[in-house]
Structure 1
Amino acid sequence: MKKIKVAINGYGVIGKRVADAVSLQDDMELIGVCDVVTDWRIKMAVSKSYLVYGFDQAVSNQMKEVGFPVVGSLDDMLQAADIVIDCTPKKIASQNLPKYRLMGIKFIVHGGEKHETTGHSFSAENNYETAIGRESTRVVSCNTTSIVRTLTALKNAGLLKKARGTLLRRATDPWESHLNGIMNTLVPEKDIPSHQGPDAQTIDPSLDVITTAIKVPQTLSHLHYWNVQLSRQAAKDEVLQAFANSTRIAMINYNDGLPANNTVKELMLEMGRPYGDMYEVAVWKDMLKVQGDELFYAYIVDNQAIVIPETIDAIRALTGIEPNAEKSIIKTNASLGIKQSFY
C-alpha cells in the first residue's frame, strides 16, 4: 500500500495531536514537523523520533545551536510531502498558502482561518465526498465541528427544523492560561449570531442555526446548550437513535458522577486517552428532554481534540486514498479509540 506522506507545519496544541494521530494510520507516513520555536515542545517532538524542520534557515540555525537534529527548512519538508497540515496560529496559516500553492502541494487549514482561504470547509460525517481530490480544505473549529455533527445527525433522521444554541466557551487553551485567561468575569460575544452558526452553514447552507457565545473563566472544554425545533413531534428514543447514528457522539449520564466538564476530563484520563483527549461530542443522555416538537440538550466539546479525527479523514479525502467516507471514519475511529459509550 502506498502511504500518503504527511507534513505538519506548526507543532503546538493541534499540531502535536495531528502528528500523533497520523503516526497511528497504516495508510499515512509522518515525514516531519516544522515550527519556529526552540523550547520544550520541539524537545518532545525529537523524543518521539519525529523529523524536525525549522521554518526558515534562521530558525533552523537556532534549533541547531540548542542541539536539535534539524533536517532542513519548511521548503525542504514540503518537497518531500504529498500534503501539509497547517497547524500554525490563527491568521498565520493564510500567509503560508501562496507557498503551498506555488509548490503544488495539497493542504489543510483549521477553523482559525476563514472559509474563503480554501473555498471548502470539512466535516467527515457531512460532506466528505465533496472534498475528494480537492487542492485544499478547512477543518472547521471545535465548536463548529460539534454543531455540525449533532445537527447533521438530527437532519439525517428527518427531525431537524431549526436550532438555537448557547455556547459557554473556554477562555483559552490550558497551557496558555497564564497568558490569556480571564478571571472573575464573563465575556459575551457581541454579535448575534456568534460566528459558529454561520460557520456551520459553510458546510451545510440548509441548516437553520443561530448561536450565541459567552467566554467563561475556565480552560478544560466548551459546554453547549441547544434548543431545537423538530420537524414533527417525536419521542426521546427517536432523538437518541438519531444521535446513535453518528459514531462520534457519545452519551454520558449526569447521574453517573459526570455533572461537569472536569469530571468528564477525569474520565478521559482514567481511560488512558493521550493528553486526556475526548474526540467525541459528549451529550448528557439523562438531561436531554423532548416536549412535543421541541428538543433540549447539552454537551461538552474538547476544544483540543475534536478536530483531530476530522483532520485525518480530510487527509484521505483530499488525497483520494479512500473515496468512501464511512470506511475512512471507521478506520480513523479504530486508530484513535473513538467510541459511542465510554464505559
Structure 2
Amino acid sequence: MNIKVAVNGYGVIGKRVADAVRVMPDMELVGVADVATDWRVRTAVGLGLDVFAATPGAGTAMRAAGMPVAGTLADLLSQVDVVVDTTPKKVAALNLEAYRAAGVKAVFQGGESHATTGHSFVAQANYATALGRDATRVVSCNTTSIVRILGALQDSELLARARGVLIRRATDPGESHQGGIMNTLVPESSIPSHQGPDARTVRPDLDVVTIAAKAAHTQTHTHFWTLQLTRPASREEVLETLRAAPRIAFIRMADGLTASNTTVELMRDLGRPRGDMWEVAVWEDVLTVEGDEAYLTYQVNNESIVIPETIDAIRALAGTVTDGPTSIATTDEVLGMRRDFLPDALRAVPA
C-alpha cells in the first residue's frame, strides 16, 4: 500500500516535495495545504491538486477568491500517514502538536531547530535512526551538502577535520523583488556559522568549522573547503571516494562550467524540472590534494537539494523501506539523478 502524504505549505520547497511525491511509485499525494490565495496556490489548483486551508481564516479567504477548497488541514491530516511541513521558519514548530494529535508522522525542514523533533536527517548518514519515529527534521540545504561530502570522506576514514567558507545566496530567486542585498557582502556575525554545529546533529563526531557570508546573488550557495586528511592520499583516491557516495555529481571548469549561473543553465538544458539540481555539484578539476590536505569547491542548489532527503525521510518514518541505500536508490532513479552531468564523451579534452 502506498504511503499517503500531505504537504503543508506550497512554497519553494513544498511545491517541489509535492511534485516528487507524485512521481514516486510507493507514495500518493493526498493534498496540499496553504494560507495564500495568490498565483502559487492557484498553480496547485491548476495542476489538479486538492488544496486544503491551513487555517480557518485561510479557508474564508480562499473561497472569497473563488478557489476550490477541499477542506481544512484537520481534514487533510485525517487522510494521510505522513505530513511534510514546509511552512515558513518558526511556523512549523507550532504545527507539531496538531500532527501528534492527528496521529500523523511529520517531516520538518531545516529552518526549525533540532530540538523541535529531537532528530535531524540526511539519508546517507542516519536513515536507520529515523525508522518508525514520529517526526524528523531534514537539515538545511548547506548542512545537507556538508553531511554528504564530509560524511563520504569520514566513512572512508579519510577525514580528520574540515574547515569551510560558505558564500550564501541572498534570497530565493522568486523573492528577490522583496528583499535581499545589493552590491555588498554580509559576513555572518559569529564563527562558527550555524551550519557546522548543525551538521553535528547528524554526525556528532564530525570535526567541522564553518564561516559564512551572504552575497548579492540568488542562484545557489558555494562552498570552499580545506580538509585535513587522516593520512597522505592521492587526488584520485579522494575523487573516487566522493564518486562512490550518493547524490554527489561532478562539473568541470574545462567544460565551461566556471560559475554558478552556468551550472543553473546546464540544469535547464538537461530538462530538469524548474532547473533543479538535487545533487551537490563538485568542481572535479578544482579538487586538489597535497599530502594529507585536500581542497575542494562545490555548489548547492538551495531550492532543491533537500527534496530527495525529504522523500527518504517519508519512507523512514513510515517504515515501509527499512534499508537506507534501497530508499536512496529508488528516489535517485525516479528523479533521474546523476554522478556526472556530462558523459565522458561530451567532456572537454584537457589541454
Sort the TM-score into its range (normalised by shorter chain). over 0.9
Percent identical pairs in the alignment equals: 56
Residue 54 of structure 2 is aligned to residue 55 of structure 1: yes
Alpha-carbon shift at residue 58 of structure 1 (Å): 2.4
Alignment correspondent of 1:246: 245
Alpha-carbon shift at residue 64 of structure 1 (Å): 1.6
Alpha-carbon shift at residue 139 of structure 1 (Å): 0.0
Alpha-carbon shift at residue 247 of structure 1 (Å): 2.1
Alpha-carbon shift at residue 129 of structure 1 (Å): 0.5
The amino acid across from 1:304 in the alignment is E
Alignment correspondent of 2:70: 71
Worse-superposed segment, 266-275 or 59-68 = 59-68
Counterpart Cα distance in 1 of 2:245 and 2:132: 25
Alignment correspondent of 1:160: 159
Give the root-mean-square deviation of aligned CA atoms: 0.7
Residue 218 of structure 2 is aligned to residue 219 of structure 1: yes
Alignment correspondent of 2:309: 310
Residue 152 of structure 2 is aligned to residue 149 of structure 1: no
Alignment correspondent of 1:126: 125
Counterpart Cα distance in 2 of 1:171 and 1:59: 29
Alpha-carbon shift at residue 283 of structure 1 (Å): 0.3
Counterpart Cα distance in 1 of 2:271 and 2:5: 26
Alignment correspondent of 2:20: 21
Residue 292 of structure 2 is aligned to residue 293 of structure 1: yes
Unaligned runs of 5+ in 1: none
Q: Secondary structure at the match of 1:178?
A: coil
Residue 313 of structure 2 is aligned to residue 320 of structure 1: no
Alignment correspondent of 2:348: none
Counterpart Cα distance in 2 of 1:135 and 1:230: 37
Counterpart Cα distance in 2 of 1:6 and 1:81: 5
Alignment correspondent of 2:173: 174
Counterpart Cα distance in 2 of 1:25 and 1:146: 23
> How many positions carry a matched residue from both structures?
342
Counterpart Cα distance in 2 of 1:165 and 1:315: 30
Alpha-carbon shift at residue 57 of structure 1 (Å): 2.6
Worse-superposed segment, 111-120 or 57-66 = 57-66
Counterpart Cα distance in 1 of 2:83 and 2:140: 18
Alignment correspondent of 2:11: 12
Counterpart Cα distance in 2 of 1:5 and 1:67: 28
Moved over 6 A (4+): none
Alpha-carbon shift at residue 61 of structure 1 (Å): 2.1
Unaligned runs of 5+ in 2: 343-351
1:177-232 Cα shifts (integer Å, max 9, x gaps):
11121001110001100000000000011000000000000000000000000000
- Aligned 8 A contact 1:247 1:339 in 2: no
1:304-324 Cα shifts (integer Å, max 9, x gaps):
000000000000000001001
1:133-152 Cα shifts (integer Å, max 9, x gaps):
00000000000000000001
Alpha-carbon shift at residue 69 of structure 1 (Å): 1.5
The amino acid across from 1:147 in the alignment is I
